[in-house]
Amino acid sequence: MDFGNMMKLMGAWNTFKRNHPKFPAFCRAVHAKGLREDSVVEIIVTTPEGERIETSLKVKVEDLELIRNLTGMVS
């Protein structure tokens, strides 16, 4: 990723944090507890019409590496 794109990403992350102040605290709590291999992450999106879209995933070692890399980019 070039420097300009990295700066855009950081700016977008800062805006996201301002718009959703509880999310960074959630991420810190997950990090403190230690997201580990075989942890289950569940995601639910509820549309404005009330439709629920759900999924879950079991964390793999490769996922943890991706998360570490992404965390380093936006911290």
Distance between start and end Cα atoms, the chain: 15
Residue 28 to residue 34: CA distance in whole angstroms:
10
Question: Domain range holding 25?
Answer: 3-74
pTM of the predicted structure, to 2 decimals? 0.68
Tens digits of per-residue pLDDT, 2-21?
888 888 988 998 999 999 99
Q: Which residues contact 63 (CB under 8 A, 6 or more apart)?
A: 57
Tens digits of per-residue pLDDT, 23-57?
989 988 988 888 899 999 999 999 999 999 999 99
Q: Number of structural domains, the chain? A: 1
Pair 73, 1: CB distance under 8 Å = yes
CA angle 20, 40, 26 (to 5 degrees): 25
